[in-house]
Amino acid sequence: MSALDSRDVDLKKDLDATVRARRELGEEYDSALVESFLEKVDQRIDDVVDRRVRRHLAEQRMADARGARRPKGSDTWAERFGFAIVSLVLAIPLSAIGGALAGMSGMVTTWVGIVGVNAAQAMRLNPELVTGRRSGRSAEDDRED
């Protein structure tokens, strides 16, 4: 039997005891018996809600912690170097195609795209390029500089 089932059984036993006590004591004790039982139900509900809220908060903290960390290996030197090499290698044929099809405007468009892709990659790996703050520093630290 799980912990939840045992609490339900305990609550059922409390209800049975309250009903028996009401039969023995009479109607004049109805409100006191009902209030006593309702306090137990309220406590049971509070316990369940507290447990669920704690679990939800713990799950949120774990998700936040996972989101705050960069995945391992995503900011390695080899990845950055490889991305730069691939960009330069692809820039040559893309420039030739852009220049052959649209002249100077094709070349400019090609290079704007290449620079844009590299800028997006740099911002993905270094979000502080966008925010202007280094990680681990607060806004107050930046104002003091």
Sequence-distant (6+) residues with CB within 8 A of 61 are none
Domain co-membership, 82 together with 140: yes
Residue 107 domain boundaries:
77-144
User: Which pLDDT score, from 0 to 100, does residue 145 have?
Assistant: 45
Cα-Cα-Cα-Cα dihedral sign, residues 62, 63, 66, 68: negative
Backbone angles phi, psi at 132, to 5 degrees: 85, 0
Among residues 49, 68, 87, the one where a domain terminates is: 68
User: Which pLDDT score, from 0 to 100, does residue 144 have?
Assistant: 47
User: Which pLDDT score, from 0 to 100, does residue 132 have?
Assistant: 74
Domain co-membership, 28 together with 62: yes
Write the CA distances from 95 to 11, 25, 28, 100, 119, integer angstroms: 77, 96, 95, 8, 18
User: Which pLDDT score, from 0 to 100, does residue 113 have?
Assistant: 92
Cα-Cα-Cα-Cα dihedral sign, residues 50, 52, 58, 64: negative
Domain co-membership, 34 together with 7: yes
Domain co-membership, 86 together with 139: yes
Domain co-membership, 63 together with 82: no
Domain count, the chain: 2
Q: Confirm whether pTM is higher than 0.85.
A: no
Domain co-membership, 139 together with 81: yes
- Give the whole-angstrom CA distance, residue 49 versus residue 139: 37
Domain co-membership, 84 together with 44: no
User: Which pLDDT score, from 0 to 100, does residue 109 have?
Assistant: 93
Among residues 68, 93, 109, the one where a domain terminates is: 68
CA 16 to chain centre: 45
Give the ranges where the chain is alpha helix by DSSP (H): 3-25, 30-68, 77-125, 128-131, 139-144
Average pLDDT per 10 consecutive residues for the chain, totaling 145 residues:
66 86 84 85 87 91 75 67 87 90 92 90 80 58 47
